[in-house]
Amino acid sequence: MVVLNTTTVKPYTVYLGKSGYPADDAIMNSLRKVTDRIITLDASSLAKQAGSLQATNVVMLGALFGSGLLPVKVETVKQVILSRFKGKVGEINLKAFDLGYEYVQKALRKVAA
């Protein structure tokens, strides 16, 4: 299974002209050669919805746990997030995690239906 953020973040070397970056179609075609289980989400938009673009990686973490493929309890991850991030930042990160988690859970329910 692949969970892919649709927001492109190109490496600095691309802007310097020292490297290239594949087109979205090329990325998807390559992924389809490996799996037909691809879930795309705009994690950056969900992070903004949670309260901070900086929470994009936490949205992706939630998406990963939403796949149900990890042997770690969601409650454990949330406790770790709150131990690392205090106050409002902790709340934003929990919301970001939940948005990613719920997005993938919903996508998987659609596939199963």
Position 7 scores a pLDDT of 92
Position 113 scores a pLDDT of 74
Task: Report d(CA 10, CA 31) in Å as an integer.
Answer: 18
- Domain residues for the domain of 108 are 2-112
Q: Which amino acid is at 20?
A: G
Sole residue written with tokens 């998406």: 63
> Measured at the alpha carbon of residue 110, what is the angle toward residues 107 and 113, in degrees to the nearest 5?
150
Q: How would you class 90 by CB atoms within 10 Å of its CB: exposed for 0-12, middle for 13-18, buried for 19 or more?
A: middle
Contact by Cβ (8 Å): 8, 21: yes
Q: Pull the structure tokens for residue 16.
A: 């310097």
Count how many domains the chain has.
1
- Terminus-to-terminus CA distance in the chain, angstroms? 18
Position 30 scores a pLDDT of 97
Contact by Cβ (8 Å): 32, 43: no
Position 67 scores a pLDDT of 95
| Whether this model's pTM surpasses 0.85 | yes
Task: Report d(CA 113, CA 111) in Å as an integer.
Answer: 6
| Residue-by-residue pLDDT tens, the chain, 113 positions | 999 999 988 889 999 999 999 999 999 999 999 999 999 999 999 999 999 999 999 999 999 999 999 999 999 999 999 999 999 999 999 999 999 999 999 999 998 77
